[in-house]
Amino acid sequence: MLREDRRLLGRLLGDVISEQVGPETRERIETIRQTAVRFRRSLSDPALAGEAKAVKAELESQLDALPIEETLHVVRAFSYFSHLLNIAEDAHQNRRRRAHAQGRSPRRPGSFAYALERAGKASGASLLGWFERARVSPVLTAHPTEVQRHGSNLRARASPSPHSRCALRPGARRPCSARSALDSEDGLSCAAPRGCAVSTG
């Protein structure tokens, strides 16, 4: 499902780019993206190491040839696509959590419920010892909880839409439009809250 979501969002973004700035700009952005992917693969795959220098030169040539206006379009497109991928991954994690909950799977390591379950089996002395060593520090991320809360409030105030439930649920039909995909309550509009990291030293 995650791969399908990524492809869907990529197509939707491509459609928006074509509509707003023209198909030629979309093709130029896609060419740069494909070259960047080839360059990354040439760096990570020893069998392609000999191509890395040539692909890098090709990518630099494509970027250097862009006028400032086209450069802004490329930067925005890559930025938007990165945000959309993050949203798709959050939605995928939500689906996995829902599936585990419905299947009554054991608590998963890393979850708050798992931590509470383990804490309930520990002795008071061991818990006190852990808290003496624990260090809690705030972490700034690209997905503050406020973003998710704001999106939820907007959906709650919005009028019901015939497309609001054609979300990316397991077994559900694909969203029938860009609007329905991005407005979907369970699909592509929620960001998982991330706020702090706990470590022991």
Cα–Cα distances in Å, from 81 out to 8, 77, 168, 198? 11, 6, 18, 30
Nearest to 73 by CA among 129, 2, 24: 24
Q: Give the pLDDT score at 193.
A: 37
Cα–Cα distance for residue pair 42/53, rounded to 1 Å: 9
Closest-CA residue to 88 (of 13, 161, 15, 3): 3
Alpha-carbon distance of 89 to 166, in angstroms, equals 18
pLDDT of residue 27: 94
Per-residue model confidence as pLDDT tens for the chain (201 residues):
888 888 888 899 999 999 999 999 999 999 999 999 999 888 888 887 788 889 999 999 999 999 999 999 999 999 999 888 888 888 888 888 888 778 887 777 877 778 888 888 888 888 888 888 888 888 776 554 555 555 555 555 554 444 433 444 444 444 444 434 433 433 333 333 333 443 434
What is the model's pTM? 0.52
Is the torsion defined by CA of 8, 11, 17, 18 positive or negative?
negative
Other C-beta atoms closer than 10 Å to the C-beta of 8 total 19
Q: Quote the DSSP letter at residue 108.
A: P
CB 161, CB 180: distance < 8 Å: yes
The pLDDT, as a whole number, for residue 148 is 55
What length does the chain have? 201
**What pLDDT was estimated at residue 167?**
42
Collapsing DSSP states into helix, strand and coil, what is residue 190?
Answer: coil
Could you give the CA distance from residue 149 to residue 170 in angstroms, rounded to a whole number?
24
β-pairing, 134-138 with 196-200? Answer: antiparallel
**pLDDT for the residue numbered 201:** 43
The residue assigned the tokens 């503050």 is 144
pLDDT score for 162 = 44
Q: Where are the domains of the chain?
A: 2-105+139-200
Q: Rounded to a whole number, what is the distance in angstroms from the first to the last CA of the chain?
A: 38
What is the rounded distance in angstroms from the CA atom of residue 103 to the CA atom of residue 101? 5
| DSSP H or E segment with residue 136 | strand 134-138
